[in-house]
Chains A and B, each alone.
Chain A
Amino acid sequence: GNSVTQMEGPVTLSEEAFLTINCTYTATGYPSLFWYVQYPGEGLQLLLKATKADDKGSNKGFEATYRKETTSFHLEKGSVQVSDSAVYFCALSASSGYSTLTFGKGTMLLVSP
């Protein structure tokens, strides 16, 4: 079946540090890949997505590249801010015609001033 594995947290960084959160997946066919973010006290929000191999999704300074050869979709940001502190979820959607998502366990990011 489909599955998503992401690095365990918490990830603790100082402001302006470089961020990488690793995500790998297992799926049949050609899934679409997503990063969702959950800020404290808020619901899940789509951060970025990529729907085919070698696509790069980007938003708010975050980016991730769909790597089919390594089945990965690592999230990166060049310079994190305190406001980026949140839980980040990697997810995939199988090519089934609708958007049911399989999520990873989430990675908490804590950014200190």
Chain B
Amino acid sequence: GAGVSQTPSNKVTEKGKYVELRCDPISGHTALYWYRQSLGQGPEFLIYFQGTGAADDSGLPNDRFFAVRPEGSVSTLKIQRTERGDSAVYLCASSSGATNEKLFFGSGTQLSVL
């Protein structure tokens, strides 16, 4: 596609439920990033994929968060046993993979945990 696509754009769930957030990066981009943006804050890094593997998952807050990219393109961020503090905008970005290369961001998924 023309840009990074994230679905759904909005997700409302109840505390304790499981959610999946999808990211479809720009075609041919080998690097994919997930960030989380809480209200009034800048985006915070969660995880970085180079191809199919997670090259850096140091930003994942705890073991309830997990992400996959099985074929090196689409990625899914999975959150188990959601908590109200997980409410935020989850951003996905992709790039060609070169150092300090421009990141292309999607519009994000607004997750609300009630």
Chain A residues within 8 Å of B, Cβ to Cβ: 4, 32, 36, 41-46, 49, 51, 89, 91, 93, 97-106
Contact B40 A99 (CB under 8 A): no
Q: Does B42 contact A (CB under 8 A)?
A: yes
Complex partner residue of B91 from A4, A44, A93, A100, CB under 8 angstroms: A44
> Given A43-B4, A43-B108, A105-B40, is A100 in contact with B45 using a C-beta cutoff of 8 Å?
yes
- The total of interchain contacts (Cβ-Cβ below 8 angstroms) comes to 61
B42→A46 contact, CB < 8 A: no
- Show 19 residue pairs from A and B whose CB-CB distance is below 8 angstroms, ordered by the A residue: A32-B100, A43-B3, A43-B91, A43-B108, A44-B103, A45-B105, A89-B42, A91-B42, A97-B99, A98-B31, A98-B50, A99-B101, A99-B103, A100-B56, A101-B35, A103-B43, A104-B42, A105-B41, A106-B41
Tell me if B102 is interfacial: C-beta within 8 Å of chain A: yes
Q: Interface size for chain B: under 10, 10 to 19, 20 to 34, or 35 or more residues?
A: 20 to 34
Bound-state CA distance A36–B97 (Å) is: 18
Whose C-beta in chain B lies nearest to the C-beta of A104?
B42
